[in-house]
Amino acid sequence: MTGRVAELADLRTRVLEGPSAKATEAQKAKGKLTARERLELLFDKGSFTETEPFRRHRATGFGLEGKKPYTDGVITGWGKVEGRTVFAYAHDFRIFGGALGEAHAQKIHKLMDLAETAGAPIVGLCDGAGARIQEGVTALAGYGGIFQRNVRNSGVLPQISVIMGPCAGGAAYSPALTDFVFMVRGTSQMFITGPDVVQAVTGEKITQDGLGGADVHAETSGVAHNAYDDEESALEDVRHLLTLLPSNNRELPPAEPVYDPVDRRNDALLDLVPADPNQAYDMRAVIEEIVDDGEYFEVHERWAPNIICALTRMGGQVTGIVANQPQRLAGVLDIESSEKAARFVQLCDAFNIPLVSLVDVPGFLPGVDQEHGGVIRHGAKLLYAYCNATVPRISLVLRKAYGGAYIVMDSRSIGTDLALAWPINEIAVMGAEGAANVVFRREIAASDDPEATRQARIAEYRDELMHPYYAAERGLVDDVIDPALTRATLIEALTMLRNKHAALPARKHGNQPQ
């Protein structure tokens, strides 16, 4: 027995060291950490337990029978993040370039099944060259098994993908099916077809980063939720994000002690938000003022920046914030912002995170490109997501809320639990100027002084239909509140709604807009 134990210890040491010092040096030369170093940063110190460290492939042909490294290019296991169980797999680029073969895939399948059994989040650290070509269709079938489990656990377990190297072809679809995608600048790329194929088919010349780098996906495509300068920062944010999510959909997100007084006044809001509906301001300053300690985790910060989606805490409880951003495109809704917010609302609803919507929206962005691009169906995604959400929902109109965008931003008519407003709110079909031009156009055209008549009718429309208490008088706003009491009012309402229970009709699933 003593001899066998010594043999086991020696074998384990070889597994931990990896394939060779040369392979490790090559990984470091690219500015990348090894798979084990990444796992050490992700998990609490000394908490990681590896599964199947001695697994080897059984493929033959093309020289594979002479190359059977342990782990088969992926490290799988579980550990603790801030004391809570999390499962993870990390591609080891030093072995077959992290390419996925049959054994490699089966390790990930078993890990995902174990995470489902334990009811714990899954983190994928992706640094692989796609399917292992030498194993042919068997490798492709391995991807299919991962995709099927991604979908089965969607809305059940939090799933996070961190792209730390190449992620091409079919390999890109697993991250796309997860809840969050993080990327690292300079070392990570995601695309279905690489630059060489693009050039061969379309004649377009482009680099790997230009086609599918971190900044491209964080700003242009919206595939990546966040981009980072280094792997350490990315993994630090993954750890932080996990503290804001429940382990599974049957639990509430973890609460934390509250050191920021729940009844703290927000007098700064009186100066932060201009009463003039056409004057821009930074909605982030409003969020910082009302949440615990001014801290929040924004997702998709650089994509569709005319709307803000963030996870934060209010009164120690995790809360999702959806807020129009008047600094960008006046805070209008468009194709991308609707899609961004809809996905975030669905995420919060899946994982029992209450929603607070901060509304200051002039409408949907007009234009031929928007209409031809399908703004109707994309806007309907956000409408569907809100209507389908059963978590506590509170909407607060800060200034303006016009037209269909008012309805879509979780208005009383689509089921928000509490609709609040500030005393400078303007809720209407459209702005007073546009409304007067439509309603009184004949009178204005026939007037001896059209401009004076137009101004008089604008004032009349504003006084009659757009005064701050018009919606409140009709029960479409539950209360008009002092901005200085915003934090206290929202936390009190969220506390009241904490045990909300709302059942959806019996159905297999809805047919949401695509």
Active site residues: 169-170, 404-405
Select from 135, 168, 139 the least CA-distant residue to 63.
135
Contacts for 128 with CB less than 8 Å, ≥ 6 apart: 73, 74, 91, 93, 97, 98, 99, 100, 165, 166, 167, 171
Please give the backbone phi and psi of residue 443, each rounded to the nearest 5 degrees, phi first.
Answer: -60, -40
* Cα–Cα dist 79/84, whole Å: 8
* Cα–Cα dist 36/173, whole Å: 24
Residue 437 burial by Cβ neighbours in a 10 Å radius (0-12, 13-18, 19+) = middle
Sequential DSSP letters for 14-42: HHHH-S-HHHHHHHHHTT---HHHHHHHH
* Cα–Cα dist 337/349, whole Å: 18
Both tokens of residue 366?
Answer: 């007009």
* Cα–Cα dist 107/126, whole Å: 14
Residue 128 near residue 93 (C-beta atoms within 8 A):
yes
Collapsed DSSP state (helix, strand, coil) of residue 131: strand
Select from 137, 69, 144 the least CA-distant residue to 106.
144
Scored b (16 or more CB within 10 A) or e, 67-78 reads eebbbbbbbbbb
Alpha helices in 221-282 (DSSP H): 231-242, 269-272
Residues in the chain: 514
Contacts for 474 with CB less than 8 Å, ≥ 6 apart: none
Both tokens of residue 121?
Answer: 């989040």
Q: What is the CA radius of gyration of the chain?
A: 26
